[in-house]
């Protein structure tokens, strides 16, 4: 095992897949000459040239649309949308074109494209450069939504996303780019649609997404000191959604807290909570609690943003609330 940052692990995935398959091409704003705003594509222009690492104008709708067209023409595009907040600009291409093509063509078309993006909550980027909105895409059958929380999953899941015959929205966490973690030396992929139990526990299940997985692991450590054993499940992908792993865990612990960086109302937690209630109601000993963001746009002020963001302490609080301790 080697140590890599989350950004470098992603970069390795791109590079390896570009070597493996000549049809893999990258396109997006500032990904070439500038090496990517977060340096995920560093060095790839030099290695693969401007045709396979294609800098685009600021045209999000056309970036996504071109990715759709490239996929239809037999290529494997990996498009980058610099901030998750820019996705609404290309929502038509993602949600109304790419996601529905296979279905409404009666299976004649496949759209093997990846749209990489990141959210920058916690980096003082203000209301329009910070938001985490994967739950929007729960309403879009046909799309896969992947959200890795550590370097090893980031690499393995990006490789799987590139090889997947479906459109994949790949959501990275801006705050995690510089975090390091072990990454296998050998070739590997991580299957899309399987949650991962990041820590075993007996008393309560915490299902977490993206950056909140790390916060939840920190929370579990604090709780351990007080004799509370929390299990932390990293959802890893929102579509498909691994209810089986969550249900298996909840059936053992009988308690559930869900932690994510999106606005609580109508968010990821709402969907997980509803699914668990529908499928495991008899096993639950307490109401399900969500740890997420308040129903406001994201404030710029660094102090306010810190108060706004969920964190390990808030997960601890929620767990104690559910356990009545």
Partner 1 sequence: MATVTELREVDQKDFAKHGLTKEKLVEMLRKMLIVRKFEEKVEELFLVKGLLIGPSHLYLGQESIAVGAMMALQPNDLTVTTYRGHGHALAKDVPANLCMAELFGKSTGNCKGLGGSMHVAIYPKTGSLYATAIVGSGIPIVAGVGLGLKQKGSKQIAATFFGDGACNTGAFHEGMNLIALWKLPVLLFCENNQYAMSTPVKLAVSSPSISERARSYGMETMVVSGNDVVSVYVAAKTAAERARNQSLPTFLECLTYKMKGHGVYDKGEYRPKEEVAKWLERDPITTFKKRLLNQNVLTAAEIDKVEAETQQEIEESVRFAMTGSPLPFDQIMGYVYAE
Active site positions, annotated: 60, 129
Name the strand (E) or helix (H) holding 170. Answer: strand 168-173
Q: Taking contact as CB under 8 A, which single stretch among the options 9-17, 34-42, 58-66, 196-204 is the one that binds partner 1?
A: 58-66
- In the complex with partner 1, the residue whose CB is nearer, 167 or 181, is 167
68 makes contact with partner 1 (CB under 8 A): yes
Closest approach of partner 1 to the CB of residue 246, in Å: 20
Residue written as token pair 């308040």: 294
SS3 assignment, position 82: coil
Interface residue with partner 1, options 141, 182, 184, 321 (CB under 8 A) = 141
Between the CA of residue 31 and those of 39, 56, 194, what are the distances in Å? 8, 8, 30
Residue in the block written with tokens 């932690």: 259
Contact flag: residue 166 with partner 1 (CB under 8 A)? yes
For the bound state, the minimum distance from the C-beta of residue 197 to partner 1, rounded and expressed in Å, comes to 25
Element containing residue 46 per DSSP (H, E): helix 44-48
Under rule CB under 8 A, residue 65 binds partner 1? yes
Q: Which of 15, 16, 39, 72 binds partner 1 (CB under 8 A)?
A: 72
Counting contacts by CB under 8 A, is residue 290 touching partner 1? no
Based on CB atoms, which residue is closest to partner 1, 165 or 287? 165
Nearer to partner 1, 44 or 288 (CB): 44
At 270 the three-state DSSP class reads: helix
Gyration radius from the chain CA atoms: 19
Question: Cα(226)–Cα(239) distance, rounded to whole angstroms?
Answer: 35
**Which one, 101 or 219, has the nearer CB to partner 1?**
101
Peptide bond into 234 cis (omega under 30): no
In the block, tokens 């693969």 appear at: 48
Find, among 188, 182, 208, 164, the residue nearest to 312 by Cα.
Answer: 208
- Closer to partner 1 by Cβ: residue 103 or 300: 103
Q: Closest approach of Cβ 317 to partner 1, in Å?
A: 38
Q: Quick check: 103 binds partner 1 (CB under 8 A)?
A: yes
Rounded (10°) CA dihedral 114, 232, 311, 262: 40
Residues that bind partner 1 (rule: CB under 8 A) add up to a total of: 40
d(CA 325, CA 314): 14
- Minimum CB separation of residue 225 from partner 1 in Å reads 44
Q: Does 71 bind partner 1 (CB under 8 A)?
A: yes
Q: Specify the pairing of strand 76-81 against strand 114-119.
A: parallel
Question: Which residues sit at the interface with partner 1, rule CB under 8 A?
Answer: 23, 25, 51, 56-57, 59, 61-62, 64-75, 77, 92-93, 96-97, 101-110, 141-142, 144, 165-166
């Amino acid at each position: 095992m080697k140590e890599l940052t989350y950004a470098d692990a992603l970069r390795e995935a791109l590079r390896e897949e570009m070597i493996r398959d000549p049809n893999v091409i990258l396109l997006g704003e500032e990904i070439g000459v500038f090496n990517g705003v977060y340096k995920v594509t560093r060095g790839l222009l030099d290695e693969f040239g401007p045709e396979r690492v294609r800098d685009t104008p600021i045209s999000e709708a056309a970036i996504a649309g071109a990715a759709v067209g490239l996929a239809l023409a037999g290529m494997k595009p990996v498009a980058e949308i610099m901030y998750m907040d820019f996705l609404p600009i290309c929502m038509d291409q993602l949600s109304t074109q790419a996601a529905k093509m296979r279905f409404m063509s009666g299976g004649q078309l496949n759209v093997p494209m990846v749209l990489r993006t990141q959210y920058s909550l916690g980096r003082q980027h203000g209301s329009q450069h910070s938001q985490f909105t994967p739950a929007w895409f729960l309403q879009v059958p046909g799309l896969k939504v992947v959200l890795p929380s550590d370097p090893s999953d980031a690499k393995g899941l990006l490789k799987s996303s590139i090889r997947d015959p479906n459109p994949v929205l790949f959501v990275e966490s801006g705050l995690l780019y510089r975090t390091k973690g072990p990454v296998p030396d050998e070739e590997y992929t991580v299957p899309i649609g399987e949650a991962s139990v990041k820590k075993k526990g007996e008393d309560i299940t915490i299902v977490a997404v993206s950056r909140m997985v790390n916060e939840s692991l920190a929370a579990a450590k604090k709780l351990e000191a007080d004799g509370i054993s929390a299990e932390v499940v990293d959802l890893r992908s929102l579509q498909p959604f691994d209810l089986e792993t969550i249900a298996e865990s909840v059936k053992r612990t009988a308690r559930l807290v869900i932690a994510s960086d999106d606005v609580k109302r109508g968010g990821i937690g709402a969907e997980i909570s509803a699914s668990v209630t529908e499928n495991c109601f008899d096993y639950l000993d307490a109401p399900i609690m969500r740890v997420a963001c308040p129903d406001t746009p994201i404030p710029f002020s660094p102090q306010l943003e810190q108060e706004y963001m969920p964190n390990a302490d808030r997960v601890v609080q929620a767990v104690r609330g559910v356990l009545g301790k």
